[in-house]
Structure 1
Amino acid sequence: MTAPLDVSGQAMEAQPEAVVQGAGGKAIEGRSLGQIAWARLKRDKAAIAGAVVVVLLTLIAIFAERPFGGLIALFGDSPNTPNNDLIDPMTSAPIGAWGGMSLEHPFGLEPVNGRDIFARILSGAQISLLVAFLATVVSVAIGSLLGVVAGFFGGWVDMIISRLMDIFLAFPLLLFAIAIVGAVPDQAFGLKGNALRIAVIVFIIGFFNWPYIARIVRGQTLSLREREFVDAARSLGASRSHIIFREMFPNLVAPILVYATLLIPTNILFEAALSFLGVGVAEPQASWGGMLTRAVDYYQSAPHFMIVPGLAIFITVMAFNLLGDGLRDALDPRAR
């Protein structure tokens, strides 16, 4: 197909305005990196499903009990209310099929004391997510700062921080947590009871898990510090703090965010493991790991007591992992 000819018989060249008008009169708009990542994330149905579950669990944890809400009181008994009249005195198992499941007790009742499992699952979600989120924030804050400092300055600074990472990575974290939490008194640092135990668990998980994210941030910083925009900032006389916090950190948000979403389920499992071993949150406060500990003795007479908190942990960890994988793919600039 030949181009149109003018009066003199020579080919005419279309003007840019004509091309735009011919395309419908709409100007071509570029997309930001955030818009591109969101478009990729929306195509990942598994990641969206994981995000929905994470949002629902977070809302449940926030509004489970007063003062923020009261979902537990709205749907049933409080987590520590016994229902001895619904327990068989001969077997200590809940009366009725499927562990005493009913409209009033949708997940059934605990053996022996008859506490509502649904209410305790909601209350346990608060503990699991609170510990996981706070510990992740501590790990990310320490690891990101030390990782970017080690990668940017290099030399003896990098050597000291790297050896510190190796020491923390070789530390037997689970044994240390069991020893520390088990030796914690009932009151210290202005806290007491489960509040003190939660604070100690958050400190142990957050303070000893930072080397994992620090290694990732250090590797990313080593490649970023040789990029053109860092050289341009140096040539303009920018200070080191300006380069680190204004130039490098915005480019490190994506890997930090992805690793944080993958670290949260690990922290949930760690807290559940401590509660399962009896050194986590103490009774009568509900926790998913503590419920599994008590369920071991009744797995034959009341299997629902083990299945429900186990599924709660499984679904929560799976949702965070799906969301983390989806964010990793969406924020990867090499993905299509």
Structure 2
Amino acid sequence: MTAPLDVSGSELEVAPEPGPVGPAGRAIEGRSLGQIAWTRLKRDKVALTGAGVVIFLILVAIFAPLIVSGFGHPPNDFNQDLISTETLAPKDGTGISAAHLFGVEPVNGRDIFSRVVYGARISLLIAFLATLLSVAIGTALGVIAGYFGGWVDSLISKTMDVFLAFPLLVFAIALAGIVPDTAFGLSGDTLRVSLLVFIIGFFNWPYIGRIMRGQTLSLREREFVDAARSLGARGPYIIFREMLPNLVAPILIYATLLIPTNILFEAALSFLGVGVRPPTATWGGMISEAVRFYSIPHFMFFPGMAIFVTVLAFNLFGDGLRDALDPRAR
């Protein structure tokens, strides 16, 4: 179709049709799914508070030496001058002062604030690495099982059932207890952290694996997957280019909810004495030591509150993220 002509025979310039116009007279711009999710998340003040606490805890873990140098004492330094030789408790009951914000431990007088700050490093590091390992294995095997089906799905699903029935806590206690101080070229805290990451991460993958398998079973019947097949796309292309982008939301949601579970698991292992070994500060280890001094509540209160606040913040943020990424939400 040619442009219209004026009376002189020359072509007239035709202006493009205007797009949709909003109430203020400005053109309405489309929004991506990420922008929609961010708009929903910004309205959820509880989730934003949880996200703020999570970011704060990560910064505390990263800058622990700097924080301790300004507000505390080295975590393994003894302060015997603050401990009563008769009761082995702090002389004033807690030892809380400007120099020791959370007080000092009984018997040895170590600064509780410094140990709580350094404990954040161990707990968050193990939780993040274990979650990354679980998500990587669970996503890979779940997507493969859901997409290919048949004997592949049956084999992977039966493997998931075996792992889910495995007495993980008993195995973790046994394995962590028999591993020597030096193994696999590692030693000390590096060995213990690596061992805990393997135990927690490797044996928890079936939980997210089942979720990914169910999501993949639903996605493989969608029209865009059928369109990719009709154009000659093979399995790996469909999985990586068509399915995985649609699985990002459930992966993120489950990861934020799995991290606090791993924090609690690490704290439980440290409480039972098979986690990272003393004198390295861990929240679970501090609570285990505080059990003997039940009459000195501040010794148990601060590491316990650190675990409580961390787990609660991750759960609140995970719930808000789930609502924000839900395509059916308004």
* Range into which the TM-score falls when normalised by the shorter chain: over 0.9
Structure 2 match to 1:53: 53
Q: CA deviation at 1:24?
A: 3.7
Question: Identity percentage over the alignment?
Answer: 70
Q: Give 1:281 shift.
A: 0.8
- Consecutive unaligned residues of structure 1, counting only runs of 5 or more, are 1-14
Q: Is the 8 A contact 2:20 2:28 kept in 1?
A: no
Q: Please list the CA deviations of residues 19-38 of structure 1 after superposition, one character each: whole Å capped at 9, or x if unmatched.
A: 84x84441110111011111
Aligned equivalents of 1:34, 1:285: Cα separation in 2: 41
CA distance in 2 between partners of 1:96 and 1:329 (Å): 49
Distance 1:42 1:94 in 2: 46
Q: What amino acid does structure 1 have at the position aligned with 2:139?
A: S
Paired residue secondary structure (1:197): helix
Q: How far apart are residue 43 of structure 1 and its match?
A: 1.1
The structure-2 alpha-carbon separation of the partners of 1:17 and 1:168, relative to structure 1 and needing over 3 Å to count, comes to closer
The alignment's TM-score, normalised by the length of structure 1, stands at 0.92
Contact 1:184–1:197 (CA under 8 A) maintained in structure 2? no
Q: Distance in 2 between matches of 1:95 and 1:38?
A: 52
Quote the residue 2:8 is aligned against: none
| Aligned with residue 254 of structure 1, among 232, 249, 262 | 249
What is the identity, as a one-letter code, of the residue corresponding to 1:303? P
Return the TM-score normalized by structure 2. 0.93
Query: Does 1:136 find its partner at 2:131?
Result: yes
What is the alpha-carbon distance in structure 2 between the residues aligned to residue 228 and residue 215 of structure 1? 23
1:210/1:19 CA distance change after superposition, 3 Å: closer
| 1:96-126 Cα distance to aligned partner (Å, 9 max, x none) | 25x1111111101000000000000010000
* Counterpart check, 1:329 vs 2:323: yes
Answer yes or no: is the 8 Å Cα contact 2:131–2:262 preserved in 1: yes
Distance 1:18 1:52, change over 3 A: closer
Matched residue, 2:33: 33
Give the Cα separation in 2 of the matches to 1:140 and 1:182: 26
What is the number of residues matched between the two proteins? 315
Q: Which residue of 1 aligns with 2:146?
A: 151
Find the aligned partners of 1:155 and 1:182 in 2 and give their Cα distance. Answer: 40
Aligned to 1:311: 305
Q: Secondary structure, in 3 states, of the residue corresponding to 2:27?
A: coil
Of 104, 111, 119, 1:124 maps to 119
1:219-241 residue CA offsets vs partner (Å, 9 max, x unmatched):
00000000011011111111211
* Counterpart position of 2:68: 72
Runs of 5+ consecutive residues of structure 2 not aligned to the other structure:
1-15
Tell me which amino acid in the other structure corresponds to 2:71. F
1:181 to 176, 182, 203: 176
1:240 is the counterpart of 2:238: no
Number of the residue aligned with 1:7: none
Aligned to 1:160: 155
Moved over 3 A (4+): 15-20, 22-25
CA distance in 1, matches of 2:184, 2:23: 68
